[in-house]
Amino acid sequence: MGMGDNALRRYIFASDFDQTLTFNDSGYVLAELVGISTDEFERKAKGMARINLVQQGAELAYLLLHDPEFKAKVRKEHLYEVGKRIRLKDNIPLLYQILESGIDGHVFEFFVLSAAPVEVIHSALEDIVPKDHIFGTEFLYKPTGEIDTIVRATAGYGKVAVLNQLLEEHVAGPDHVIYTGDGSSDIHVMLHVNARDGLTIAVSESPHVSQIAKRTVLSTSALAVLAPILEEVAGWERFRIRGFFEANGMLIQEWERVRTDWLTVRPATIEPEEAPSVPAERGDKVHIVPSGT
């Protein structure tokens, strides 16, 4: 079919941004920056999520377009500033380099798919991930820097649409997709990737995603996603993975695998209350440090 070995081993590595590559949410950092109370932001965002007004994850985009306070205060330059203030997880540059240069004949193209405004991500990942590998929510601005209108929201189904476009452009099979994310905005795309035999990795204990993702990995280092990738895609054993990290100057100090089933049992005659939120204690907890420390 003209597909060489090279083409067969090409993968798309797609990552969410907020709380997957960062420790906090750009919405909170932005609210703080422009002097809107984070409680107020949270109240509005959660209220919107509850009534399913917008695609999951697009709450901030909606507020930027329609909330009088956000509309009045936020300018394009604030979004760049958020990117500089947001705290990134460790080792993103190294993760990018390793995936791009390939592992054992597998080549991974690194993309970011996020509902966050694209300016935030461009700024945060400047000199780490090329701009054309970043897909975020895009606005059009007035000459004053004020947000005028929206071009595209990369939230909910919007992530699936971008992923399909990437698959076409990069001639990868649908099973050659790895998606990693932390939260509710990732459910749609994770279900899609699972159904097409790709690999999904959750990086939080949130039951919404960790129950859907094939693997869960918890770490302060972005590099930790390599552990399930090397196991599932390259078929490596743990000792080989540890050796690979060390060859890249990093040490897996701790690697604990947790698998617990949480069951809530109640008498069948009582009406269920709101679904209990219990931590899904499942996944790999990985602690990575530079070797030689």
Please give the residue ranges that form the binding site for Mg ion (CB under 5 A).
Answer: 16, 18-19, 182-183
Q: Which is nearer to Mg ion, 19 or 210 (CB)?
A: 19
220-245: b (≥16 Cβ within 10 Å) or e: ebbbbbbbbbbbebbebeeeebbebb
Between CA 213 and CA 181 the distance in angstroms is 9
**Residue with the shortest CB distance to Mg ion:** 18
Q: Which is nearer to Mg ion, 16 or 205 (CB)?
A: 16
15: nearest Cα among 150, 124, 168, 140: 124
At its nearest, how many Å lie between Mg ion and the CB of residue 53? 19
Neighbours of 249 (CB within 10 A): 11
At its nearest, how many Å lie between Mg ion and the CB of residue 269? 39
Provide the residue count of the chain: 293
At its nearest, how many Å lie between Mg ion and the CB of residue 183? 4
246: nearest Cα among 203, 288, 218, 283: 288
Q: Which is nearer to Mg ion, 61 or 172 (CB)?
A: 61
Is residue 16 within 8 Å of residue 180, measured between CB atoms? yes
C-alpha distance across the termini of the chain, in Å: 50
At its nearest, how many Å lie between Mg ion and the CB of residue 267? 37
At its nearest, how many Å lie between Mg ion and the CB of residue 86? 12
At its nearest, how many Å lie between Mg ion and the CB of residue 256? 24
At its nearest, how many Å lie between Mg ion and the CB of residue 229? 19
Between CA 170 and CA 160 the distance in angstroms is 15
Q: For the sheet containing 147-152, what is the strand order?
A: 147-152, 134-141, 107-117, 10-15, 177-181, 199-202, 215-218, 282-290, 250-259
Neighbours of 158 (CB within 10 A): 22
Q: Which is nearer to Mg ion, 183 or 198 (CB)?
A: 183
Q: Which is nearer to Mg ion, 101 or 277 (CB)?
A: 277
Q: Which is nearer to Mg ion, 32 or 231 (CB)?
A: 32
Q: Which is nearer to Mg ion, 16 or 67 (CB)?
A: 16
* Contacts of residue 273, Cβ cutoff 8 Å, sequence gap at least 6: none
